[in-house]
Amino acid sequence: MTEKEEKKFIEECRSWLGTGWMHAVCVKGFRVDCVHYIIGVAKNMGWIPVDYEPEPYPHDWALHQTESRLVNELHKYCQLVKIENIKIGDLILYKFGKCNSHIAWYLGEGKAIHSAEDTGVEEFNMQTEMLAERTIVMRMRNKK
């Protein structure tokens, strides 16, 4: 991404701050879960089709399987990236339960943004140790 595109991306991500959390909902300023937050930003950036909708999923799906439905779905639009090559706009997938089941956007300078059950959309500082042990990174194919 160019510097201008990075700025637009970060502004879009932060425009969701204050949006509460609710499973399987995507209403900016009201409620959104982690998956739908990623989808909402990606649609607004023009990175995925505006009519894209994920398959329905139960709230606790990651507790009962080792294969990540999230990673499988992301392979349609993304490719794996080594953690040491992370860039602004990359996706960070965290392992909770038995598989990678939580997702955030990377904002650069060790910061990320996600929608969490207890806080809604929030920006946070990543922990390098946690990154190395419990995460994978993916990059959208159709962005630079």
Structure tokens of 20?
């509460």
In the chain, the number of structural domains is 1
Q: Given this model, what pLDDT does residue 144 score?
A: 47
What is the CATH number for 105?
Answer: 3.90.1720.10
Provide the domain limits for residue 53. 3-140
Please list, in sequence order, all residues whose beta carbon lies within 8 angstroms of the beta carbon of residue 141, skipping any fewer than 6 positions away: 77, 78, 79
- Inform me whether the pLDDT recorded for 129 exceeds 70: no
Model confidence, pTM = 0.88
Tell me which residue of 107, 88, 104, 85 sits closest to 96, measured CA to CA: 104
How does pLDDT run across 17-43, given as a tens digit for each residue? 999 999 999 999 999 999 999 999 999
Instruction: Decide if 5 contacts 34 (C-beta within 8 A).
Output: no
> What one-character-per-residue DSSP string does 48-65 give?
S-TT--PPP--TTGGGS-
Q: How far apart are the first and last CA of the chain?
A: 5
For residue 23 the two structure tokens come to 């499973």
Q: Minimal CA–CA distance to 92: which of 120, 117, 66, 71?
A: 71
What value does the mean pLDDT take over residues 98-121? 90
